[in-house]
């Protein structure tokens, strides 16, 4: 009898442990294209840990960013709402008077109010900065994160990725890191990986949500010299697309002899990605050491496609800032032992707005029944890649006052099944592609299928009206070539810079 009671108690304990709400570690790479990982077919970059993670979990072939640039993706991730509904349509400039308003109920707040410890490491980019005279600076800790480490305090993307994190002659570090922990040659990706491990160790006793938001692989690319040298020896870098490089100039060189701007076989991109991969290995090993692996959901993905100045997104067309597949289709891997079947591939399309409702279900979070989201709960598909679901359209809204320096233009898009329609706002032109037959979007078939164009453009227009989509200048889109002036300011954020006509 005593033996039976002991067995019963052990079984009850096991059930209790298994019933614990899962931890979530969300790892975001910056500007990492769809085809950069080994498990997505790349033969130059070395990503053994991420490749192994895909074999331990699920790899996604139709994962999309809600926008082809940084800030809108991050707004959608935090809120579960499309950027067009939030109003953050392009990347926020350092002096922006716009930020993600605290009126939104964000994903970290949902975790926090359900007893999770929440931690943020790295790139935020959902605010302007006081250093650049922004009237508002809203930090991760204003949106439900208990802690923030290695956050930017000024404009980013300058290649100053080594201690002491000064760019050229600028008077302050662009990060809030006040002292190094890894020695005089401390590298930013390594430091962020170190902070992630420390967070896991300190919060192992109860569920946690960790958002590890890397600055890599955003240009100016600048990898660790030992890793860069390895890749230069592996394959000659492509001929630079830049005749001038700040980092090379500061090292006493002309042009780009150090290969920061190689458009293919870029040794700095490969080195930075390998450093991210090293961090994923440290995280998975720490979870195993602490017996947390089975209780932790690991998500790895990117915020948009790769920059075509420093990489190629082949077989996809275009890249960052564009609504072609190279700008919005992204790598994505999710591991959750015992729930997500190992070694599976999901072809159903998904967008990063789906993370909010999916993680709410996966972690059994209690949120308001009135909470609005534009995403879909993908948990059934995570559990069973063969699960059927209702068909839906995906939408993009990317209005620009002027073309992006990487080639993007003011446009919108819709994907429905294998059809994808892109609308160019300045010209009113439509391009139509069948992604099943033409993944590289090389053949515009709009003239061949006028009824498909009509149907998709009508649905795109209806969606814009539904979400209140606005142009970058504060105009509400009603249909192509027509706009209605409407207030576009976020709740609680009104700058005294703005001029209001008095009648």
What's the pLDDT score for residue 61? 98
Q: Same domain for 416 and 327?
A: no
Runs of H (alpha helix) within 34-185: 48-56, 70-79, 83-86, 107-113
If one compares 10 and 216, the residue with the highest pLDDT of the two is: 216
CB environment 438-453: b (16+ within 10 A), e (fewer): eebbeeeebeeeeebb
CA distance 462 to 58: 34
What's the pLDDT score for residue 402? 87
Q: What kind and span of H or E run contains 60?
A: strand 58-60
pLDDT digits (tens, 9 = 90+) for 162-186: 999 999 989 999 999 999 999 999 9
Residue 11, pLDDT > 70, answer: no
CA distance 140 to 138: 7
pLDDT tier for residue 500 given thresholds of 50, 70 and 90: very low
Considering the chain, what percentage of its residues have pLDDT values greater than 90? 83
CA distance 320 to 325: 10
Asked if residue 8 belongs to a domain, the reply is: no
Q: Same domain for 137 and 220?
A: yes
Asked if residue 35 belongs to a domain, the reply is: yes
∠ CA 77-377-33, nearest 5°, is 45
Strand residues in 338-465 grouped as ranges (E): 344-346, 350-351, 393-398, 411-416, 419-424, 430-434
Q: Same domain for 256 and 311?
A: yes
Asked if residue 498 belongs to a domain, the reply is: no
Contact 220, 157 (CB under 8 A): yes
Q: Is 391 helix (H, G, I), strand (E, B) or coil?
A: coil
Contact 139, 126 (CB under 8 A): no
Mean pLDDT of 7-21: 49
Q: Same domain for 413 and 474?
A: yes
Q: Same domain for 365 and 327?
A: yes
Asked if residue 389 belongs to a domain, the reply is: no
Asked if residue 69 belongs to a domain, the reply is: yes
Indicate the range of 63-77, 238-252, 345-359 predicted with least confidence. 238-252
Q: Same domain for 357 and 438?
A: no
Q: What is the DSSP letter of 90?
A: S
What's the pLDDT score for residue 188? 98
Asked if residue 1 belongs to a domain, the reply is: no
Asked if residue 263 belongs to a domain, the reply is: yes
pLDDT digits (tens, 9 = 90+) for 230-258: 999 999 999 998 989 999 999 999 999 99
Q: 138: domain CATH number?
A: 3.40.720.10
Q: Same domain for 349 and 416?
A: no
Which structural domain, as residue segments, surrounds residue 127? 20-383
pLDDT tier for residue 97 given thresholds of 50, 70 and 90: confident
The bridge status of strand 344-346 relative to strand 58-60 is parallel
Mean pLDDT of 415-439: 97
* Helix orientation angle between 48-56 and 267-289, rounded to the nearest 10 degrees: 50
**In angstroms, how far is CA 390 from the centroid of its own chain?**
25
Asked if residue 2 belongs to a domain, the reply is: no
CA distance 85 to 76: 9
Domain boundary among 349, 383, 417: 383
What's the pLDDT score for residue 163? 97
The bridge status of strand 147-149 relative to strand 117-122 is parallel
CA distance 290 to 23: 13
Residue 493, pLDDT > 90, answer: no
pLDDT digits (tens, 9 = 90+) for 304-335: 999 999 999 999 999 999 999 999 999 999 99
Report the DSSP beta bridge partners of residue 212.
Answer: 27, 121
Q: Same domain for 153 and 240?
A: yes
Domain boundary among 383, 412, 431: 383
Query: Distance between the two ends of the chain, CA-based, in angstroms?
Result: 88
Q: Same domain for 51 and 156?
A: yes
pLDDT digits (tens, 9 = 90+) for 470-483: 876 555 555 454 44
Q: Same domain for 302 and 400?
A: no
Strand residues in 205-308 grouped as ranges (E): 208-213, 296-302
CA distance 282 to 275: 11
Q: What kind and span of H or E run contains 269?
A: helix 267-289
Domain boundary among 356, 383, 410: 383
CA distance 366 to 49: 33
Q: Is 373 helix (H, G, I), strand (E, B) or coil?
A: coil
Q: Same domain for 83 and 215?
A: yes
Contact 82, 413 (CB under 8 A): no
What's the pLDDT score for residue 369? 86
And the tokens for 19? Answer: 């019933």
Q: 424: domain CATH number?
A: 3.30.1120.10
Count of domains for the chain: 2
CA distance 415 to 422: 9
What's the pLDDT score for residue 492? 59
CA distance 229 to 211: 30
pLDDT tier for residue 2 given thresholds of 50, 70 and 90: very low
Q: Same domain for 471 and 361?
A: no
Runs of H (alpha helix) within 43-187: 48-56, 70-79, 83-86, 107-113
What's the pLDDT score for residue 185? 95
Contact 235, 45 (CB under 8 A): no
Contact 493, 136 (CB under 8 A): yes
Q: What is the mean pLDDT of the chain?
A: 91
């Amino acid at each position: 009898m005593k033996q039976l009671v002991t067995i019963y108690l052990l079984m009850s304990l096991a059930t209790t442990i298994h019933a614990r709400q899962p931890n979530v570690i969300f790892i975001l790479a910056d500007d990492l294209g769809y085809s950069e990982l080994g498990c997505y077919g790349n033969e130059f970059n070395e990503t053994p840990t991420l490749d192994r993670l895909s074999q331990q979990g699920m790899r996604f072939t139709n994962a999309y960013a809600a926008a082809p640039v940084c800030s809108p993706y991050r707004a959608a991730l935090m809120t579960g709402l499309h950027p067009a509904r939030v109003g953050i349509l392009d990347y926020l400039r350092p002096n922006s008077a716009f930020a993600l308003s605290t009126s939104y109920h964000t994903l970290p707040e949902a975790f926090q109010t359900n007893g999770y410890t929440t931690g943020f490491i790295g790139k935020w980019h959902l605010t302007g900065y006081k250093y650049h005279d922004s009237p508002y600076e809203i930090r991760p800790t204003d949106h439900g994160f208990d802690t923030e480490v290695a956050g930017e305090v000024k404009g980013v993307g300058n290649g100053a990725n080594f201690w002491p994190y000064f760019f050229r002659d600028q008077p302050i570090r662009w990060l809030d890191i006040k002292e190094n922990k890894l020695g005089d040659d401390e590298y930013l990706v390594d430091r962020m990986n170190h902070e992630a491990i420390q967070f896991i160790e300190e919060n192992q006793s109860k569920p946690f949500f960790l958002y590890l938001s890397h600055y890599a692989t955003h240009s100016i690319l600048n990898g660790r010299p030992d890793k860069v040298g390895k890749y230069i020896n592996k394959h000659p870098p492509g001929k630079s697309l830049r005749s001038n490089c700040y980092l090379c100039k500061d090292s006493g060189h002309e042009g780009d002899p150090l290969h920061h701007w190689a458009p293919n076989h870029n040794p700095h991109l490969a080195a930075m990605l390998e450093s991210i991969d090293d961090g994923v290995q440290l995280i998975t090993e720490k979870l195993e050491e602490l017996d947390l692996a089975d209780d932790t959901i690991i998500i790895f993905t990117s915020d948009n496609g790769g920059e075509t100045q420093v990489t190629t997104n082949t077989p996809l067309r275009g890249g960052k800032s564009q609504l072609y597949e190279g700008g919005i289709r992204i790598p994505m891997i999710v591991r959750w032992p015992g729930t997500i079947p190992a070694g599976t591939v999901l072809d159903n399309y998904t967008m990063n707005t789906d993370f909010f409702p999916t993680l709410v279900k996966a972690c059994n979070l209690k949120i308001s029944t009135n909470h609005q989201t534009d995403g879909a709960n993908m948990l059934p598909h995570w559990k069973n890649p063969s699960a059927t679901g209702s068909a839906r359209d995906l939408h993009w809204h990317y209005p620009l006052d002027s073309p992006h320096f990487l080639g993007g233009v003011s446009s919108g898009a819709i994907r429905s099944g294998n059809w994808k329609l892109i609308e160019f706002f300045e010209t009113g032109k439509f391009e139509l592609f069948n992604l099943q037959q033409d993944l590289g979007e090389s053949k515009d078939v709009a003239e061949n299928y006028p009824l498909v164009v009509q149907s998709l453009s009508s649905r795109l227009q209806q969606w814009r009206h539904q979400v209140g989509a606005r142009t970058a200048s504060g105009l509400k889109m009603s249909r192509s070539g027509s706009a209605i002036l409407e207030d576009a300011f976020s709740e609680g954020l009104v700058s005294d810079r703005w001029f209001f006509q008095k009648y």
